[in-house]
A and B are shown apart, each in its own frame.
Chain A
Amino acid sequence: MNLTAVAAIYKFEMARTFRTLAQSIVSPVLSTALYFIVFGTAIGSRIEQVEGVSYGAFIVPGLIMLTVLTQSIANASFGIYFPKFIGTIYELLSAPASFLEITAGYVLAAATKALMIGLIILATAYFFVELTIAHPIWMIVFLVLTCLSFSLFGFIIGIWAKNFEQLQLIPLLAVTPLVFLGGAFYSVSMLPPAWQGITMFNPVLYLVSGFRWSFFGMADVPVGWSIVAIFGFLIACLAAIAWIFRTGWRLRA
């Protein structure tokens, strides 16, 4: 196991994060604050309570998920796309490191950054609403697993993408809608029955639901399903990455 290589990639990527720290953190914090103002204050004044939780607090887990998902994907996809784009990928391909080690370096760095931002947003939320977290350990477990699995997903997108447009495409076209429709800002029980059925096919629902359960002890779907869903997604991404490195798809000519 070439752990030195994992550490080298991780440090290199984290150095980039800290070099651009201000822009990495300011924009998610700012947009979260805007969400609180628009959703929490404006809409919250009409909805007030969802299943016994104030609306402002209710949207916190969904907001964190939204940011963490987009951040994980953006960080990891850029992390591996950039070396492809500028040509430094030659070094990764010729290094005595396995696909697992290279992936681990990039994905851990991307997940770390997303996790940091997720926690900062949680801290920001305390300024706007009153929060108590029912299951803090589970909250962290969900958060970490989400960061990891979506960083893996982002890594795949970064390898797949042939240009910057493609790099933006999946997050824009798939992830953001799935998060919004996955109950980030409402309880599924508030939807008409037909829509409730359709929503059950949205994988992000299981994440948001499980994460919200760790905050308030209530969920749209049983929390066990959420755990199964997130591990299923993690394993699917790992399998895809193993295949990519074995075949050299989009990496080796």
Chain B
Amino acid sequence: MTAILSVDRLTKTYAGGFTALDDVSLDIREGEILALLGPNGAGKTTLISTVCGITQATSGHVTVGGHDTITAYRAAREMIGLVPQEINLEPFEKVINTVRFSRGLFGRPRDDAYLEKILRQLSLWDKKDEPIRSLSGGMKRRVLIAKALSHEPRVLFLDEPSAGVDVELRRDMWAVVRQLQEDGVTIILTTHYIEEAETMADRIAVINGGRILLVEEKAALMRRMGRKEMRIELKEPVTRIPSALADFGLTLEAEGTRLVYSYDRQASRTGIVRLLSALQETGLTVADVETRQSSLEEIFVGLVTERQSA
């Protein structure tokens, strides 16, 4: 796949002297969903704003669909839709008018049928004639999404789209995002709900302190970084780990009724078979065995804190 968006050695130092982006390079592939993760102040919004032309880069280049965002800003920006993190809307304007305005601003001819489609998708159609100030927070966020989609962008930035949106609507929104991906739209998503990245993203980028720490396929990342755990539930509790099992580095949980074994799935020997046979020799009665993979969240926290302490 080709890169539809290419960030090349982008640096942003704000007027106060703070460097929010430090030599960031990143290629985004056409049609993918990339989740951009990072703690507060990591530089996610700054990266998005610089790509979209809201802040000026100190150095570096960005191209969208091969168009430089400075020298060919029209062609580049026509391709981009942006859902900002802050809810910035004209309070007295009707929903439909602000969405229509956005489409016009991006140079597209009026197309009410298309706008109806996206407003329906976002469950906003029955609110179309309401002034924005009468909408709830979650509805306002969906108005922002409708505005961003109004000009049929090829690349969509979603800066924390699910903040303040309830669970059900969040799922609706994910469905909309999936549909967009099927239509060929490339999506860059920032979120603090790691679960969201885990369900949605094809690739994960982690940014911290203005630097990209990693960009990787989600599946590969979870395979590589994810520790697996085997949990052995015991019928009868034990007070300590039997000496026969001392070599496995087990931990005892749930008041002595659960043994937890962590292993690396990539390793040539996981040690599972050895553990199970050793377990049999102890004569303990096993009620259940389950394995689970550490979540993206655990990976993410591990990554960010590890770099911070380094």
A contact set with B: CB distance below 8 Å = 2, 4-5, 7-9, 11-12, 15-16, 19, 82, 86-88, 90-98, 248, 252-253
A3 to B225, CA, bound (A): 52
* A95 x B92 contact (CB < 8 A): no
Closest beta carbon of chain B to A16's beta carbon, Å: 8
State the total of A-B contacts with C-beta under 8 angstroms: 87
* A96 x B73 contact (CB < 8 A): yes
Q: Which residues of B contact A92 (CB under 8 A)?
A: 105
Among B80, B88, B92, B103, which residue has its beta carbon within 8 angstroms of that of A90?
B88
Q: A88-B88, A91-B102 given as contacts; is B55 within 8 A of A253 (CB)?
A: yes
Among B14, B90, B91, B106, which residue has its beta carbon within 8 angstroms of that of A95?
B106
Closest beta carbon of chain A to B106's beta carbon, Å: 6
Q: Which residues of A contact B54 (CB under 8 A)?
A: 90, 93-94, 252-253
| A-B contact sample (6 more), CB < 8 A, given A4-B107, A253-B14 | A2-B107, A82-B90, A86-B90, A87-B84, A88-B90, A91-B82
A86 to B86, CA, bound (A): 10
Closest beta carbon of chain B to A106's beta carbon, Å: 12
Q: Which residues of A contact B14 (CB under 8 A)?
A: 253
From A5, A87, A94, residue with most partner B Cβ within 10 Å: A94
* B105 x A91 contact (CB < 8 A): yes
* B244 lies within 8 A of chain A by Cβ: no
Among A87, A97, A248, which residue has its beta carbon within 8 angstroms of that of B88?
A87
A248 to B55, CA, bound (A): 9
A140 to B105, CA, bound (A): 31
Closest beta carbon of chain A to B47's beta carbon, Å: 13
Q: Which residue of A lies closest to B69 (CB)?
A: A94
Q: Mark B54-75, 1 if CB is under 8 A from A, else 0.
A: 1110000000000000000111
A2 to B49, CA, bound (A): 22
Q: Which residue of B lies closest to A19 (CB)?
A: B92
Mark out the residues of chain B between 257 and 291 whose CB falls within 8 Å of any chain A CB in the assembled complex.
none
* B108 x A90 contact (CB < 8 A): no
Q: Which residues of B contact A252 (CB under 8 A)?
A: 53-56
Q: Which residues of B contact A16 (CB under 8 A)?
A: 92
B contact set with A: CB distance below 8 Å = 14-15, 49, 52-56, 73-78, 80, 82, 84, 86, 88-93, 97, 100-109, 147
Q: Which residues of B contact A4 (CB under 8 A)?
A: 104-105, 107-109
Closest beta carbon of chain A to B263's beta carbon, Å: 48
**Listed A/B pairs (26) with beta-carbon separation below 8 Å:** A8-B103, A9-B105, A11-B101, A11-B104, A12-B93, A15-B93, A87-B84, A88-B88, A90-B52, A90-B82, A90-B88, A91-B82, A91-B102, A91-B147, A94-B53, A94-B54, A94-B82, A95-B106, A96-B74, A96-B75, A96-B78, A96-B106, A97-B74, A97-B105, A98-B74, A253-B55
Q: A95-B77, A96-B78, A252-B56 given as contacts; is B91 within 8 A of A86 (CB)?
A: yes
Closest beta carbon of chain A to B197's beta carbon, Å: 24
A88 to B14, CA, bound (A): 21
* B89 x A2 contact (CB < 8 A): no
Q: Which residue of A lies closest to B16 (CB)?
A: A253
Among B15, B74, B76, B91, which residue has its beta carbon within 8 angstroms of that of A2?
B74
* A96 x B107 contact (CB < 8 A): yes
Q: Which residue of B lies closest to A20 (CB)?
A: B92
The 9 closest A-B pairs by CB, nearest first: A8-B104, A87-B88, A96-B77, A94-B52, A96-B74, A2-B107, A95-B105, A253-B55, A96-B78
Closest beta carbon of chain B to A99's beta carbon, Å: 11
Q: Which residue of A lies closest to B73 (CB)?
A: A96
* A253 x B15 contact (CB < 8 A): yes
* B88 x A5 contact (CB < 8 A): no
Closest beta carbon of chain A to B260's beta carbon, Å: 48
Q: Which residue of B lies closest to A88 (CB)?
A: B88
Q: A8-B105, A95-B106, A252-B55 given as contacts; is B78 within 8 A of A87 (CB)?
A: no
Q: Which residues of A contact B147 (CB under 8 A)?
A: 91
* A12 x B101 contact (CB < 8 A): yes
A82 to B88, CA, bound (A): 11
From A2, A95, A252, residue with most partner B Cβ within 10 Å: A95
Q: Which residues of B contact A82 (CB under 8 A)?
A: 90
Among B76, B89, B106, which residue has its beta carbon within 8 angstroms of that of A5?
B106
* A94 x B56 contact (CB < 8 A): no
Closest beta carbon of chain A to B143's beta carbon, Å: 12
* A94 x B86 contact (CB < 8 A): no
Q: Which residues of A contact B84 (CB under 8 A)?
A: 87, 90
